């Protein structure tokens, strides 16, 4: 990492000194201020004299100011160790949401925005980003029903919006609080790793479950069982029960798709998918359906071939394989990786100590994008904290802070703050994600406000004998989330509304998915890795104490055979994996573009879900055992379709098309080309969502994007 010396940044980092009381007070203060501004503008401005600068600009500046506080207030619920602070953060978030809905349905404000829109939508004096803000704001009000004349229809639309919000919250709560599971004997769990079974709840003495273990449907129990349990009956039971673990959501899902369709028709759209996709890169459902249909056609033969190979493996194991079941797949897929490709995940992890991997990644970003990361230790933290106390600029003692700068070639300017919060804690957000803490924007007096961004992860903690070690897929996850963080840091927009990752849903993953390619490139795997026993004399001693007699200390560099085993398994059974993604995407489109409202009312979502899965993946389900098509309710466990990815799940696949195109066209021949890296930084990452994302892509590629690289990568071109 760059050895640039500590220098004091031009902007102090945010403080994390809130209390539960101050969170609520702060939230109420800026909501009141925002409401007062809205009332003042409505009082002072008429549709006749409404202009961008006296209506939209003051609102945009108010958004900028609010975002400096509101993101952090909502962030506490994901990271605070204090349950009261987490609860206050959730309550504050709800207050902000309610205020946002209320504000977005104010007809008096819409009338002013509508007047500006009619006058200025083609005004060449407005810069392009301001014109985009005007168009997006105007469209936002129309989509909240303000284009419907006041009266029964608008009231109905409003009622639907409220009910959909309730359905979403209840559906997700049911999933989060789901407590199901099954009792098994240790024999029935043969093959499941001991570190999983040893943590399972045991049946009480004197009950029917004495001597049995309680297996839940949470990922840490579910996935290892599907991957390693040798008993096919157990895998079968677990699979079916997991698909039926949240059947209270069946009716909620159905109500949601029917209400969405009704709301879209009230706004004059033929269905919900048309309403949702219009503002995304794809623009129309037809574009999405054509893309998914084409991908289906190309992947289908590969899926059939992969099943044949997996059936051969099943046959050598069990003696017969006329069927290949849904509950067989993870088991034989895992067995194939270990047996045919010598993929030894535990040995690989020895070469990915967390801190080494992070330093390697930051080095890559320094070299590619012309950045410099300066880790801030206690004295430096004290020097830049507004209170003079370094502890006040972090929310937990384990958090690492970096000040980020441009290198000499980029002008030595300040870029922003990066935080890493890497280990699990009680009450902490359970996955890996990037959170914007403060966006960047241009202030009223023309100076730049710099961003702050945080990576929140859950990697295993280091012990006195061993550092935290990452599996290769965790290295990919870390790189991916850090990609979002860099997008957030280097973005330069006028308005916070378009900062960083604030792009359309079917593009936002592309920049991070592109950076994942570095984790599959042999030279970069080498630069990210180092055997943990070489990190310090203490670790060397710890390794020697645990080594077998006569065992030599491994070399620091990862051996080539291990690197090959990682690279060679990237696309094993890829057709089946992508057909599973296609099943989700095509199901999503099917329920959101019915031919008529009657059709969606009649639709049986469970049967549709199961029939589509069988048609697409060709894996056998209970229907192959004569049990019909209504055996499971997978859609009731599918949080994405209620939580914002409705008529949008295809975005995971389409952004992979863009990321593969960018990587193969520009970086494949030399992933460390700093000239292209800087061009990518300035052409793609810097723009955020401030212009049409398709334009951003075309500027970088020099042409319209193509699916060729994506298909080539999958071996189906």
- 3-class secondary structure for 315-333? HHHHCCCCCCECCCHHHHH
Q: Given the structure tokens 């009649």, which residue do they identify?
A: 602
Residue 176 pLDDT greater than 80, yes or no: no
Q: How far is CA 80 from CA 72, 75, 84, 462, in A?
A: 11, 8, 9, 21
* pLDDT for position 714: 87
In the DSSP assignment, the letter for residue 282 is S
**Lowest-confidence region among 321-330, 339-348, 561-570:** 339-348
Q: What pTM, to 2 d.p., does this model score? A: 0.89
Please answer whether residues 96 and 27 qualify as being in contact, where contact means their C-beta atoms are separated by less than 8 angstroms: yes
Q: How far is CA 206 from CA 211, 304, 475, in A?
A: 10, 49, 46
Decide which of 436 and 124 is more confident: 436
Decide which of 426 and 89 is more confident: 89
Q: Is 3 helix (H, G, I), strand (E, B) or coil?
A: coil
DSSP per residue over 441-452, as a string?
EE-TTSPEEPPE
* pLDDT for position 363: 97
Sheet containing 181-184, strands listed edge to edge, beginning at the edge strand earlier in sequence: 181-184, 213-216, 201-202
Taking the CA atoms of 638, 639, 644 and 649 in sequence, report the sign of the dihedral they define: negative
Taking the CA atoms of 352, 356, 358 and 361 in sequence, report the sign of the dihedral they define: negative
Please answer whether residues 121 and 54 qualify as being in contact, where contact means their C-beta atoms are separated by less than 8 angstroms: no
**Beta pairing partners, 419:** 401, 454
Residue range 491-512: mean pLDDT, rounded: 95
User: What whole-number distance in Å separates Cα of residue 402 and Cα of residue 390?
Assistant: 13
* pLDDT for position 629: 97
pLDDT digits (tens, 9 = 90+) for 647-667: 999 998 999 999 999 999 999
Average pLDDT, rounded, for the chain: 94
Residue 1 pLDDT greater than 60, yes or no: no
* pLDDT for position 124: 86
Could you tell me where the beta strands, DSSP code E, fall in 464-545?
Answer: none
pLDDT digits (tens, 9 = 90+) for 208-250: 999 999 999 987 789 889 999 999 999 999 999 999 999 999 9
**Residue 666 contacts by C-beta under 8 Å, 6 or more apart in sequence?**
673, 676, 680, 700, 701
Residue range 414-429: mean pLDDT, rounded: 92
Q: How many CA atoms lie within 13 A of 272 on its CB side?
A: 23
**Residue 518 contacts by C-beta under 8 Å, 6 or more apart in sequence?**
364, 479, 524, 671
For the purposes of burial, counting CB atoms within 10 Å of the CB of 644, is it exposed (0-12), middle (13-18) or buried (19 or more)? exposed
Residue 4 pLDDT greater than 70, yes or no: no
399 phi, psi to nearest 5 deg? -70, 130
What DSSP element (H or E) covers 375?
A: strand 371-375
Q: Is 353 helix (H, G, I), strand (E, B) or coil?
A: strand
Residue 463 pLDDT greater than 90, yes or no: no
Q: How many residues does the chain have?
A: 717
* pLDDT for position 268: 96
**Beta pairing partners, 402:** 375, 418
pLDDT digits (tens, 9 = 90+) for 260-302: 999 999 999 999 999 999 999 999 999 999 999 999 999 999 9
Banded model confidence at residue 501, pLDDT cuts 50, 70, 90 = very high
**Beta pairing partners, 215:** 182
User: What whole-number distance in Å separates Cα of residue 329 and Cα of residue 313?
Assistant: 11
* pLDDT for position 3: 56
Please answer whether residues 414 and 11 qualify as being in contact, where contact means their C-beta atoms are separated by less than 8 angstroms: yes
Residue 440 pLDDT greater than 70, yes or no: yes
* pLDDT for position 153: 96
Residue range 613-629: mean pLDDT, rounded: 96
Closest CA to 87 of 21, 15, 25, 30: 21
User: What whole-number distance in Å separates Cα of residue 180 and Cα of residue 218?
Assistant: 9
Decide which of 716 and 415 is more confident: 415
181 phi, psi to nearest 5 deg? 175, -175
Banded model confidence at residue 53, pLDDT cuts 50, 70, 90 = very high
Residue 716 pLDDT greater than 90, yes or no: no
Please answer whether residues 91 and 28 qualify as being in contact, where contact means their C-beta atoms are separated by less than 8 angstroms: no
Q: Given the structure tokens 């206050």, which residue do they identify?
A: 88
Closest CA to 504 of 665, 666, 687: 687
User: What whole-number distance in Å separates Cα of residue 371 and Cα of residue 400?
Assistant: 18
**Residue 568 contacts by C-beta under 8 Å, 6 or more apart in sequence?**
341
Q: How far is CA 681 from CA 216, 450, 488, 498, 703, in A?
A: 44, 16, 11, 16, 18
Residue range 154-174: mean pLDDT, rounded: 88
Could you tell me where the beta strands, DSSP code E, fall in 207-297?
Answer: 213-216
Q: Given the structure tokens 């979002």, which residue do they identify?
A: 484
Angle between helices 693-701 and 651-662 (to 10 degrees): 20
User: What whole-number distance in Å separates Cα of residue 323 and Cα of residue 619?
Assistant: 8
Q: Is 55 helix (H, G, I), strand (E, B) or coil?
A: coil
Residues annotated as part of the active site = 481
Q: Is 403 helix (H, G, I), strand (E, B) or coil?
A: strand
């Amino acid at each position: 990492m760059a050895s640039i010396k500590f220098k004091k940044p031009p902007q102090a980092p945010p403080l994390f000194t809130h209390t539960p009381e101050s969170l609520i007070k702060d939230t109420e203060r800026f909501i009141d201020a925002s409401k007062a501004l809205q009332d003042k503008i409505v009082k002072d401005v008429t549709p006749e004299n409404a202009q961008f600068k006296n209506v939209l600009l003051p609102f945009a500046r108010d958004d900028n100011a609010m975002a400096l506080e509101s993101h952090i207030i909502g962030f506490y619920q994901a990271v605070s160790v204090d349950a009261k602070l987490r609860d206050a953060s959730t309550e504050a978030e709800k207050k902000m949401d309610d205020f946002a809905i209320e504000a977005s349905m104010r007809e008096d404000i819409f009338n002013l925005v509508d007047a500006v829109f009619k006058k200025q939508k083609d005004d060449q004096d407005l810069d392009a980003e301001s014109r985009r803000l005007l168009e997006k704001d105007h469209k936002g009000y129309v989509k909240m029903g303000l284009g419907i004349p006041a009266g029964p229809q608008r009231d109905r639309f409003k009622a639907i919006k409220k009910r959909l919000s309730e359905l979403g919250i209840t559906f997700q709560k049911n999933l989060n609080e789901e407590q199901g599971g099954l009792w098994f004997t240790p024999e029935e769990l043969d093959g499941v790793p001991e570190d999983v079974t040893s943590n399972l709840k045991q049946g009480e003495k004197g009950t029917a479950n004495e001597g049995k273990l309680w297996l839940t449907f949470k990922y840490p129990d579910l996935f290892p069982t599907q991957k390693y349990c040798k008993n096919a009956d157990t895998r079968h039971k677990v699979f079916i029960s997991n698909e039926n673990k949240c059947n209270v959501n069946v009716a909620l899902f159905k109500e949601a798709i029917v209400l969405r369709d009704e709301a879209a028709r009230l706004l004059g759209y033929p269905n919900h998918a048309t309403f949702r996709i219009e503002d995304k890169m794809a623009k129309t459902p037809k574009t999405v359906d054509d893309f998914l249909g084409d991908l289906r056609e190309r992947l289908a033969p590969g899926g059939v071939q992969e099943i044949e190979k997996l059936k051969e493996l099943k046959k050598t194991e069990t003696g017969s394989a006329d069927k290949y079941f849904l509950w067989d797949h993870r088991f034989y897929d895992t067995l194939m990786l270990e047996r045919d490709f010598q993929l030894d995940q535990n040995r690989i992890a020895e070469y990915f100590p967390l801190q080494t991997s992070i330093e390697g990644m930051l080095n890559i970003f320094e070299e590619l994008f012309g950045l410099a990361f300066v880790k801030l230790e206690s004295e430096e933290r004290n020097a830049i904290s507004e209170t003079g106390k370094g502890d006040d600029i972090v929310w937990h003692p384990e958090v690492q802070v970096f000040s980020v700068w441009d290198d000499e070639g980029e002008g030595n300017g300040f870029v922003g703050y990066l935080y890493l919060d890497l280990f699990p804690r009680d009450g902490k957000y359970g996955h890996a994600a990037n959170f914007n803490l403060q966006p960047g924007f241009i202030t009223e007096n023309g100076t730049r406000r710099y961003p702050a961004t945080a990576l929140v992860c859950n990697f295993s903690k280091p012990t006195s004998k061993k550092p935290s070690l990452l599996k290769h897929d965790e290295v990919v996850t870390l790189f991916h989330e850090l990609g979002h963080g860099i997008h957030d840091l280097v973005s330069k927009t006028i308005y916070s509304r378009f900062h960083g990752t604030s792009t359309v849903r079917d593009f936002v993953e592309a920049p991070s998915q592109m950076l994942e390619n570095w984790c599959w490139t042999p030279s970069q795997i080498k630069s990210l890795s180092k055997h943990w026993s070489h990190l310090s004399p203490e670790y060397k001693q710890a390794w020697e104490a645990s080594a077998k007699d006569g065992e030599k200390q491994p070399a620091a560099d990862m051996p080539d055979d291990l690197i090959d085993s990682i690279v060679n398994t990237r696309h094993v059974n890829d057709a089946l994996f992508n057909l599973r993604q296609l099943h989700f995407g095509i199901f999503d489109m099917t329920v959101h573009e019915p031919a008529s409202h009657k059709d969606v009312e009649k639709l049986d979502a469970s049967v549709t879900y199961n029939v589509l899965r069988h048609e697409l993946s060709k894996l056998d389900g209970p229907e192959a055992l004569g049990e019909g098509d209504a055996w499971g309710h997978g859609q009731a466990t599918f949080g994405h379709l209620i939580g914002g990815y409705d008529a949008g799940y295809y975005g995971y696949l389409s952004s992979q098309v863009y990321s593969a195109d960018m990587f193969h066209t520009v970086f494949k021949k030399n992933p460390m080309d700093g000239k292209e890296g800087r061009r990518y930084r300035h052409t793609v990452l810097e723009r955020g969502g401030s212009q049409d994302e398709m334009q951003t892509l075309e500027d970088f590629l020099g042409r319209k994007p193509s699916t060729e690289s994506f298909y080539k990568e999958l071996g189906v071109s």
